């Protein structure tokens, strides 16, 4: 079994993503940049991520969904809206065969930035 590729930058990661999913990943990247302008891009656990001192937002492309990590906690209204996208560990899975709720993802980025700044 081959080793997973090692990525130095988010652009390196995105270059390996399927061409039909890459625009979704780019849109998520742009939304996080706009939602949390002070955040810096990085690669962590071989996934694109954003940090404010330390990583607060990870996102990754999979065969059937885009995943966002870690779980959002402490905002009951947002958690309720995210229920349809929750995976088994509370992480978010946005199916690629459905419209991606980009505005909701922007709110997730803001909530995670705030959650991890405490």
> What is the domain partition of the chain in residue ranges?
10-115
Query: Rounded to 5 degrees, what are φ and ψ at 18?
Result: -50, 135
Percentage with pLDDT > 70 across the chain: 96
Q: Determine the pLDDT at residue 106.
A: 97
3-state class (DSSP) for residue 52:
strand
Instruction: Please tell me which residue, 90 or 44, carries the higher pLDDT value.
Output: 44
The pLDDT tens digits for 92-102 are 999 999 999 99
Burial of 70 (0-12, 13-18, 19+ CB in 10 A): middle
Q: Determine the pLDDT at residue 1.
A: 47
What strands lie across the sheet with 54-61, from one edge to the other? Answer: 40-44, 47-52, 54-61, 65-69, 92-95
- 7 pLDDT band (50/70/90 cuts)? very high
The domain 10-115 is placed in CATH, from the list 3.40.50.300, 1.10.3470.10, 3.90.1150.200, 3.40.1360.10, at 3.90.1150.200
- 118 pLDDT band (50/70/90 cuts)? low
The pLDDT tens digits for 98-117 are 999 999 999 999 999 998 87
Q: For residue 50, what are the CA distances in angstroms to 19, 32, 81, 98?
A: 22, 8, 23, 25
The yes-or-no verdict on residue 79 having pLDDT over 70 is yes
Strands 40-44 and 92-95: unpaired
- 90 pLDDT band (50/70/90 cuts)? confident
Residue 99: which residues within 8 A CB-CB, separation 6 or more?
none
Segment 46-55 mean pLDDT = 95
- Assigned token pair, 46: 């071989």
């Amino acid at each position: 079994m081959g080793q997973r590729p090692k990525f130095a930058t988010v652009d390196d990661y995105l270059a390996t993503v399927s061409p039909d999913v890459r625009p979704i990943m780019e849109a998520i990247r742009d939304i996080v940049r706009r939602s949390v302008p002070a955040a810096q891009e990085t690669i962590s656990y071989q996934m694109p991520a954003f940090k404010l001192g330390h990583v607060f937002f990870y996102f990754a492309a999979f065969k059937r969904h885009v995943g966002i990590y870690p779980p959002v906690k402490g905002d009951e209204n947002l958690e309720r809206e995210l229920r349809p996208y929750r995976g088994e560990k509370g992480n978010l899975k946005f199916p690629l065969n459905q419209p991606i709720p980009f505005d909701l993802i922007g709110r997730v980025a803001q909530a995670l930035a705030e959650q991890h700044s405490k």
